[in-house]
Structure 1
């Protein structure tokens, strides 16, 4: 067949490719962290490749690897201190290879019962660690936090309006209102748009000095909207905001949600993984009261991008929200007490996402994850201490490994942060971001790589001293 390379060809391609991938994996720190950006050069490169008949397979592979090496921010680099993009652990990489070979279809349980039950098992076990009842927790793997947050919103609408699945917006007897903090992920407002509620349905609750949702303000808005005849449908709290890794006051928010019969969703895409280390469980106190939880496996649990999860303590809500009978779907398991995954998710056909997490657990165990999370947290504390020792000012307050900082006394802190960040990125030695706190940009460093060491932190601090400390300052 035209698409089926010979066994010898496949073997040779793997023998050539795997050493290159291993070289990258083992020696990522030898590369520039960020590429030099040139859109026109890239477009000329792609336009100059003849795809009419294709390339010899070995040349095709070399082309892709060469250009990824040259034109990518290398997020697996231990000096990448940016967004929540981790270095992937090796078993999860192998999981993607296995899934690509077997290509299981996770729409119908009967087509891949092992894969479906692996994911069901992970939902039960991970849900139990958040405090849900193992026997009633439900959930689904998602493409990431955005899909999980949208799923949480749709569950909330079906909870508030029992006829929503059939009538859509016509089921609304009162105007639905969603509440999230001004630090919540922007997927919240996107979800409101996708669901047809519109941006005006989302009320942005101000935050306190620690960038946590103001419980007093939320209370006032809930009372005002209820008095005005509107229907509070959903409150989205955050456990580990994108910018400063703040954790909202979950118990107090849960109490308000219960009072107003409002669905309580916690976006714990990043911070949720702290639950896997017993020492850090108190940080997420109250998360067990959430009606649903977003958590991203591809963030702190170090697996390939595109691996999220939505968990809920309501075992019937995903079915109520998504179950759409289809006559053409396989029926081999109809006599069994099973759930077809497509009935519990936005997606229909779906990759075996759970294998990335499961194979990692088979190799490292929950204890291995607890140790890795402790390492991240300790490295975060070390970065704070080293920056403070050298005169930098820490401007966020979180136990999670995200540090926002500035040099005190500069005339224009926002411009200063942007300038220093660009210098660091241009150096190729590290990657930082900036994030606005109370309207002013600050430098931001997140620990996303389990391979980042104290020596790497020392390198970062020395780089900042060289590129960021104002010339007139005696910073030792």
Structure 2
């Protein structure tokens, strides 16, 4: 064994002790650590021929990189839809690295059994019927990709083809109907060879992101052959929900695969206030739900669910002889894109076991309360206007200045970021340059929402003259 490896093996406890100390420095500073920052491109170094030790690497990281980490796991990071990591989830994730299990086999380790237990917890959490098969994948993008791959296989079978064996060449393109699909749907369509142009955008309800059911039915009536419908259980900009029950009932009249993208909206099922939004979820043929969003477990972790386990086996079966018969050994590498799988289920098991349904319900409802309160402040402000009602945990708004451009919004949010207290991301809502506040961290309280509003207001007033000058210049030109 190399001398450095031998040295570090003998000093493993000391290495972990100092690693914990560095992690605690970050966790202890989360209330004051900037949630967003600009980091210039790193000047790349050459790989050393000789190493030094794990402790030296840790010290180098501490001195050169640690202070530049973004506090995206903190209570005032409102960009994208980013959770944090509950204490229990962090404990579970540290053990994942220590145990370093390849969570694919059925009985050679407890790891895949714990994954099955965790999936069972989730089915109860989201109100899914027992028939659903589920597994962990890296994130909503891969979960959506799995769901669309299953839908494509199902469509082939409706046409008398086995796409997993014969391929889909020479067969009519698979059409996808959706009103406000997440960008990962288009990405998945490209990866799967379905083609981005095969997305048919269905009309939404007035002033909504939810699908117009009548418009969807017209598209289904005109479809020549089976299609794939992607429904939204929580859109990114406004957390709008398609009427899942109404869409599901259309399956008795038309031939389509129903995929529900419930990446973070699925957690509406935890609360009696919002559970009605998930009514009809059991009509879904496949479902996407993220864990590293509202469950607040470390990246990366998401789940995919389907009613069609046999179809999933056809798509993902691994045919290597040494892996055995999937009917006798239903290992996850026969049902997921990966053969090598991190034990992603363990942090989710830890946090579900530690805090239960009630603890995670409290996070969801508190986040929604903070979002609603922030929305009311923005609505009453002379500087901002809401672009949509606050339905759950996302606030979509813009500046009242009618001449504001998307570049202005970016510049404004850069200034908000540089203030060092709160972080937002820009968006476009029905063509309007806008700002999103996505509140999904387990630590976020009302005081964080108040501070966010104060910073938004102060920075806007500081930038107001800049916007006015730009507006005057635009009008002159």
| Same fold flag (TM > 0.5) | yes
Task: After TM superposition, list the pairs within 5 Å mapping 1:331-346 onto structure 2.
Answer: 338-346=329-337
In the superposition, relative to structure 1, how do residues 431 and 370 fare at CA in structure 2: closer, same or farther (>3 Å)?
Answer: same
Q: For residue 4 of structure 1, report the CA deviation from its aligned partner.
A: 4.3
Match of 2:474 in 1: none
Residue 222 of structure 1 aligns to a residue in which SS? helix
- Cα separation, 1, equivalents of 2:279 and 2:301: 24
Match of 1:160 in 2: 155
Which structure 1 residue ranges, 5 or more long, are not aligned? Answer: none
Q: Does 1:106 align with 2:96?
A: no
Residue number among 212, 215, 218 corresponding to 1:217 in the alignment? 215
Residue number among 197, 201, 211 corresponding to 1:200 in the alignment? 197
Q: Does 1:260 align with 2:268?
A: no
Residue number among 34, 37, 43 corresponding to 2:36 in the alignment? 34
Residue 176 of structure 1 aligns to a residue in which SS? coil
In the superposition, relative to structure 1, how do residues 7 and 54 fare at CA in structure 2: closer, same or farther (>3 Å)?
Answer: closer
Q: Deviations over 1:132-183 (max 9, x none)?
A: 322x2201111011111111111112212121121111483x43211122x3
Residue 310 of structure 1 aligns to a residue in which SS? strand
Match of 2:121 in 1: 125
Match of 1:179 in 2: 177
Kindly indicate whether the alpha-carbon contact (under 8 Å) linking 1:124 and 1:137 is maintained by their aligned counterparts in 2.
Answer: no
Q: Deviations over 1:49-68 (max 9, x none)?
A: 65221233222112224444
Match of 2:317 in 1: 323
In the superposition, relative to structure 1, how do residues 36 and 170 fare at CA in structure 2: closer, same or farther (>3 Å)?
Answer: closer
Q: For residue 258 of structure 1, report the CA deviation from its aligned partner.
A: 4.1
- Cα separation, 1, equivalents of 2:79 and 2:246: 31
- Cα separation, 2, equivalents of 1:99 and 1:401: 30
- Cα separation, 2, equivalents of 1:178 and 1:263: 9
Aligned length: 457
Match of 1:51 in 2: 48
Residue 437 of structure 2 aligns to a residue in which SS? strand
Match of 1:397 in 2: 389
Q: Deviations over 1:25-73 (max 9, x none)?
A: 122122222233311xx12xx31x6522123322211222444433333
Residue 33 of structure 1 aligns to a residue in which SS? coil
Match of 1:363 in 2: 354
Task: After TM superposition, list the pairs within 5 Å mapping 1:71-470 onto structure 2.
Answer: 71-112=68-109, 114-134=110-130, 136-162=131-157, 163-170=162-169, 172=171, 174-181=172-179, 183-208=180-205, 209-226=207-224, 231-329=225-323, 338-391=329-382, 392-412=384-404, 414-469=406-461, 470=464
Report the aligned-residue RMSD: 2.3
Q: For residue 405 of structure 1, report the CA deviation from its aligned partner.
A: 1.1
Q: Deviations over 1:337-380 (max 9, x none)?
A: 65111111111111111101001122111221111111111111
Residue 274 of structure 2 aligns to a residue in which SS? helix
Residue 54 of structure 1 aligns to a residue in which SS? coil
- Cα separation, 2, equivalents of 1:191 and 1:50: 35
